Structure 1
Amino acid sequence: MPIRPEHRWLYPIDWPEISNIVRFTRAGGRCEHCQRPHGRHVAQLIGANGVWWDAEINVWRDGRGRQLRHAPEFVPLEAIRMTRKPVYLATAHLNHDPTFSGPRWRNLAALCPRCHMIHDGPEHRRRRWWNAFRRRALGDLFSGRYS
């Protein structure tokens, strides 16, 4: 994910190098939560809780990257919905604090877009609530009560 210009100063000056080391050296070019490979289109079943096809070893994997023992349940061909999405790894801060990367970058993880959004979901909801609360408070302070 791109860094917003107003947050750029929170990151170390060598952030691109750190990010490359975390994504490609430590994680081996795969998501650290679900094992999706970077730079490839991945076939994923829609509505199957993240089940996707790993073409390298020809197996189905679940949303956590574990191999499924059995193929997904048989569904009539008309009901199967699949999507092919590109996977681009991003380096995520596990504690949502970009100022601290921790010793040996333990606070950092290489995540695909799906896992990154799942990981950041509670923080996004908290920030959305806080911004709405702040806007309403400023409106009440300067404009009077909302109708």
Structure 2
Amino acid sequence: MPIRPEHRWLYPIDWPEISRIVRFTRAGGRCEHCQRPHGRRATLLLGTDGVWWDTEIHAWRDGRGRQLRRQPSYVPLEAIGMTRKPVYLATAHLNHDPTFSGPRWRNLAALCQRCHMIHDAAEHRRRRWWNAFRQRAIGDLFSGRYS
């Protein structure tokens, strides 16, 4: 994910290098939560909770990267549908604090778009609430109560 200009000063000056090391050296170019490979198109089953086809091991994986015990062949694929989506890794801060990377970068993880959004969902809800609260407070201060 690109860094917003107003947050750029929170990151260390060598952030691109740190991010590259976390994503490709430590994680091996795969999401650390679901094992999706970077730069490839993942085949996903629609209507399931992140089930995808891993072409390297020729098996279906669930949303957490574990190989499915029972293959979804018993479900007609035409009824569910499939789609192919590109996978891009980003380096995520596990505690949502970009100023602290921790010793040996334990606070950082290489996550695909899906896992990154799932990980950040609570933080996004908190920020959305805070922005709405702030807007209402400014409106009350300058233009009276909202109707």
TM-score by length of 2: 0.97
The answer for the alignment partner of 1:107 in structure 2 is: 107
Number of aligned residues? 147
Relative distance call for 1:77 and 1:16 in structure 2 (3 A) is closer
Cα deviation, 1:8-51, whole Å, max 9, x if unaligned, reads 11000000000000000000000000000000000011121000
- Give, in whole Å, the separation in 2 of the partners of 1:48 and 1:80: 8
Q: Which amino acid aligns with 2:53?
A: W
The answer for the alignment partner of 1:126 in structure 2 is: 126
The answer for the alignment partner of 2:25 in structure 1 is: 25
- SS of the aligned residue for 1:79 comes to helix
1:78 deviation in Å?
Answer: 3.3
The answer for the alignment partner of 2:57 in structure 1 is: 57
The answer for the alignment partner of 1:117 in structure 2 is: 117
- Give, in whole Å, the separation in 2 of the partners of 1:41 and 1:29: 13
Moved over 4 A (4+): none
- Give, in whole Å, the separation in 2 of the partners of 1:2 and 1:77: 36
- Give, in whole Å, the separation in 2 of the partners of 1:71 and 1:90: 29
The answer for the alignment partner of 1:69 in structure 2 is: 69
- Give, in whole Å, the separation in 2 of the partners of 1:72 and 1:96: 36
Q: Calculate the aligned-residue CA RMSD, in Å.
A: 0.9
For structure 2, which runs of at least 5 residues remain unmatched after alignment? Answer: none
The answer for the alignment partner of 1:138 in structure 2 is: 138
- Give, in whole Å, the separation in 2 of the partners of 1:57 and 1:73: 17
- SS of the aligned residue for 2:101 comes to coil
- Give, in whole Å, the separation in 2 of the partners of 1:2 and 1:43: 25
Cα deviation, 1:26-84, whole Å, max 9, x if unaligned, reads 00000000000000000011121000000011000000000001112523343121110
- Give, in whole Å, the separation in 1 of the partners of 2:76 and 2:30: 32
The answer for the alignment partner of 1:83 in structure 2 is: 83
Q: Quick check: 2:47–2:80 contact (8 Å CA) kept in 1?
A: no
TM-score by length of 1: 0.97
- Give, in whole Å, the separation in 1 of the partners of 2:50 and 2:138: 41
